Amino acid sequence: MLKWLREPASETQITHGARLWLYIVATVIMILLVAPTLIVVPMSFSDSQYLEFPPETWSTRWYEHYFTSPEWMSATVTSFQAAILTMLVATPIGILAAYGLHTSSMAYIRLVFVLLITPMMVPLILVAIGAFYVFVKVNIVHSLFGLVLAHSLLALPLVVIVTGSALKSYDMNLEMAARSLGAPRWKAFLTVTLPQIRFAAITAALLSFLTSFDEVVVAMFISGGDNATLTRNMFNALRDQIDPTIASISTIMVLVTSLLMILSQLFGRAKGS
């Protein structure tokens, strides 16, 4: 250990000992990045109203409260419906657009690309009030349909970017070969190109799901009534008081996210090998 401290750490011959402070600072920051989210998990099993850590008495009462509450359950169902539908709408639309952008050599194609990624640049609150205004006019506020449209808008840039960059590293000659052997363009795409970019497509789909599932601001404006989302209800509950039920919901959400993250990492690995 002491020997290690005197060893050179980089090209400049600075020793590990001389920059021990850097290692300590970085480790503390990394712990601070992860700890808050993880600490919610044991807290959600606390029996106390005040969410102690470590909990003095353990209980699953907040989970029971969540699973037996009709409002929370209905909101959970809405959130999953919206996320799955957003995934099913945004992914194909985004892949089509990425393919179109990649193959069409039209002038101004870069402008179209910028247009398609604007939803992730514009502050969410502006997307929210804009969508709210349109949805009031056509009477789809508080409907699942409207929610899916707005969330698909938010997920679209991610799909275009992720699948677009996969198409850039894909050899279009493979598709050419399929077409020269008589396959129509759509068939060549579905049987040759799409399988080659499937990892990016799956990542894009997962990101679309998460975009919708985690989204708060837009949902706050355009979801409600029977179609209020989980995040909307959580946000409203947070503004009033610290309801321990939220800790249990948070734990479940972290679980869902981690699962999706592990899935995407697995697909990423498979791609790497």
Partner 1 sequence: MAAIEGTGMNADGLRRDGFLERMKLFGLCSPAILLVLVILVIPAGWLAYVSFLGADGQFSMENYSRMISRKSYMRIFITTFEVSFMTTGICVLIGYPLAYFLSQLPARIANICMITVLLPFWTSLLVRTYAWLVLLQKKGLVNTFAIELGLWDEPIKIVHNMTGTLIGMVHIMLPFLVLPLYASMKAVNRDYMKAASNLGANPVSAFWTIFFPLSTPGLFAGMLIVFVLCLGFYVTPAVLGGGKVIMVSMKIASNIELFVNWGAASALGVVLLVLTIGALWLTSRFVRLEQIVGGGH
The token pair that represents 115 in the structure block: 């247009």
**Looking at beta carbons only, is 2 or 29 nearer to partner 1?**
29
Instruction: Tell me how far, at minimum, the Cβ of 30 lies from partner 1, in Å.
Output: 4
**Looking at beta carbons only, is 1 or 107 nearer to partner 1?**
107
Instruction: Tell me how far, at minimum, the Cβ of 273 lies from partner 1, in Å.
Output: 15
Q: What gap in Å lies between CA 137 and CA 110, rounded to an integer? A: 32
**Looking at beta carbons only, is 153 or 197 nearer to partner 1?**
153
Q: Which of 181, 176, 174 is nearest to 197 (CA)?
A: 174
Instruction: Tell me how far, at minimum, the Cβ of 144 lies from partner 1, in Å.
Output: 15
CA distances from 108 to 103, 112, 165 (A): 13, 7, 19
Beta carbons of 110 and 255 less than 8 angstroms apart = no
Instruction: Tell me how far, at minimum, the Cβ of 152 lies from partner 1, in Å.
Output: 6
Instruction: Tell me how far, at minimum, the Cβ of 104 lies from partner 1, in Å.
Output: 4
Instruction: Tell me how far, at minimum, the Cβ of 29 lies from partner 1, in Å.
Output: 5
**Looking at beta carbons only, is 113 or 170 nearer to partner 1?**
113
- Residue 142's region, left for phi above 0, alpha for psi from -120 to 50, else beta, is left
**Looking at beta carbons only, is 189 or 227 nearer to partner 1?**
189
Q: What gap in Å lies between CA 46 and CA 69, rounded to an integer? A: 19
**Looking at beta carbons only, is 31 or 177 nearer to partner 1?**
31
**Looking at beta carbons only, is 130 or 196 nearer to partner 1?**
130
Instruction: Tell me how far, at minimum, the Cβ of 245 lies from partner 1, in Å.
Output: 11
